[in-house]
Structure 1
Amino acid sequence: MLRILITNDDGIEALGIKRLAEALLTLEDTEIYIVAPQEEKSGVGHGVTFRSALEPQKHDFYGLPVKAWAINGNPADCIKAAYHLLFEDDQKPDLVFSGINVGTNLGRDIYYSGTCSGAREAVILGVPGIALSYDNWFDQDNYGEVVQMIQPLVKDFTEKALKGELPQQVFWNVNIPHVPLDEVKGIVPASLSLNHYVDKYNQEGAGYFLMREYPAVMPLAEPLDYDLLKNGYIAITPVHIDATDRSLLKQMDEWSFVKSSGKREG
């Protein structure tokens, strides 16, 4: 029996997390647990709560056959609290899915996204994590055929988790195009598109709101998540949580302020 934990950053009442649960409930031999924020926590990054108490509350989740709790915290809080408070030591979750987010999480969005932080926190705790986002920001009540789109994907991830084939220290960032099922061109690996939008601030009254400007979609010269998504592909990026630049680390041995006594041996 595979224990699957679900979270999101749009809140436990969001439609996207219901769609994700519906997709996972089509799998055999699984137990589904949901631990999600009481309210929307988009854009909170990997924030965790230190200065107030977390209070998990049991939650009826659309009448579906799952166990669910709402937490007064962020997505990373939800995974951390679920792991330490709601699961017995010998019954930890085998796999974490985070989403389905309203709108995409592409490129450098992975650093701001609460959806991605849910999957990342799982990996920090030694559990494989998958973040899913859907390109329906301007059509937020419409999740189309997303359940059917992700069924083969979630099935493959669960099978690999059962076999121990998912690497440690990596979470998977999945972005799904908002198109009919028969127009999805495929499920493909993708690199992060780090420069596909420009930040700007728009003034409204005395305040300023952060906005983004997006360029035209580029030809598929490189396998970048933004361009692949906009061309009708489901884009999947493996994101390593160890951000150390090891090639630069070695070069630093020659920097003037690095003392010889501090150099690594070998």
Structure 2
Amino acid sequence: MLRILVTNDDGIEALGIKRLVEALLVLDQAEIFVVAPDEEKSGVGHGVTYRTPLATEKRDFYGLPVKAWAVNGNPADCVKAAYHLLFAAEEKPDIVFSGINVGTNLGRDIYYSGTCSGAREAVILGVPGVALSYDNWYDQENYGDVVQMIAPLVKDFAERAGKGELAPEVFWNINIPHVPLAQVKGIVPATLSLHHYEDKYSEAAEGYFLMREYPQVMPIAEPYDYDLVKHDYIAVTPVHIDATDRSLLKQMDGWPLMQPWEKQGEQPDE
């Protein structure tokens, strides 16, 4: 039996998480657990709750045959709490799916995204994690053909997880274009597009709101996730949770200051 944990950052009552569970329910021999925030937690990054207690509430989940709980915390809280409180030591989840997010999580969005944090927290705990986002920010009630689009992906990832074939310390960030299934050009590997928008602040009576300005979509020159999604590809990015720049680390061996004190002859002035 494959144990699948599902979370999100739009809240347990969001339509996107329902669509994700619908795509997972067709899998053979899968037991699905939903543990998600009791309210929207978009943009919370990888925040976890320390100073207030977490409370869980068992929920009916759209009448679907899954076990579900709402948590008064962030997506990372949901995954962490589920891992430690819901599953026995010998029955940990085989994979965590987080989403389907309203709107994309592309490029540096992965650092702000609660959806991505759900998948990242799974990997921190030693469980494969997959984040899914859909480019419907301006059409939020319309999930179109997304179930059919992600069905082969979630099946493939779930089967690979069951066989232990997914790389450790990597979560998978999937972004899906908001087009009919027939217009999808393919499922392709993608790199993060770190500079595809600019932050701007818009003044209002009560203060300032953070806004984003996006560039005109150009022909694809590099396999960036933003460009691929805007050209109707499903973009899949493996994101390693070890952010150490190892090539730079090696260069730092030659920095005079970066030496053990005994090699420098004396300690620096305090």
TM bracket (short chain): over 0.9
- Report the equivalent of 2:18: 18
- Report the equivalent of 1:228: 228
Give the Å deviation of 1:262: 7.3
> Are 2:111 and 1:111 equivalent residues in the alignment?
yes
Give the % identical residues: 77
Give runs of aligned pairs for residues 56-135 of structure 1, distance below 5 A.
Answer: 56-135=56-135
Give the Å deviation of 1:259: 2.4
> Are 2:212 and 1:218 equivalent residues in the alignment?
no
Deviations 1:8-28 (A, max 9, x none): 000000000000000000111
- Report the equivalent of 2:267: none
Give the Å deviation of 1:261: 4.6
Pairs aligned (count): 263
Give the Å deviation of 1:260: 4.2
**Distance (whole Å) between structure 1 residues aligned to residue 228 and residue 71 of structure 2:** 35
Give runs of aligned pairs for residues 195-206 of structure 1, distance below 5 A.
Answer: 195-206=195-206
Give the Å deviation of 1:75: 0.1
CA RMSD of aligned residues (A): 0.9
**Letter of the 1:205 counterpart:** A
Give the Å deviation of 1:255: 1.2
- Report the equivalent of 2:181: 181
**Letter of the 1:124 counterpart:** I
Deviations 1:92-147 (A, max 9, x none): 10000000000000000000000000000000000000000000000000000100
**Distance (whole Å) between structure 1 residues aligned to residue 51 and residue 218 of structure 2:** 45
**Distance (whole Å) between structure 1 residues aligned to residue 262 and residue 26 of structure 2:** 55
**Distance (whole Å) between structure 2 residues aligned to residue 250 and residue 11 of structure 1:** 43
**Letter of the 2:107 counterpart:** G
**Distance (whole Å) between structure 2 residues aligned to residue 162 and residue 202 of structure 1:** 47
* Off by >2 Å, runs of 4+ in structure 1: 259-263
**Distance (whole Å) between structure 2 residues aligned to residue 134 and residue 229 of structure 1:** 10
Unaligned 5+ segments in structure 2 are 264-270
Partner SS state of residue 27, structure 2: coil
**Letter of the 2:48 counterpart:** V
Q: What is the TM-score of this pair, normalised by structure 2?
A: 0.96
Q: Is the radius of gyration larger for structure 1 or structure 2?
A: 2
**Letter of the 1:176 counterpart:** I
Unaligned 5+ segments in structure 1 are none
**Distance (whole Å) between structure 2 residues aligned to residue 65 and residue 246 of structure 1:** 46
Partner SS state of residue 175, structure 1: strand
**Distance (whole Å) between structure 1 residues aligned to residue 259 and residue 175 of structure 2:** 45
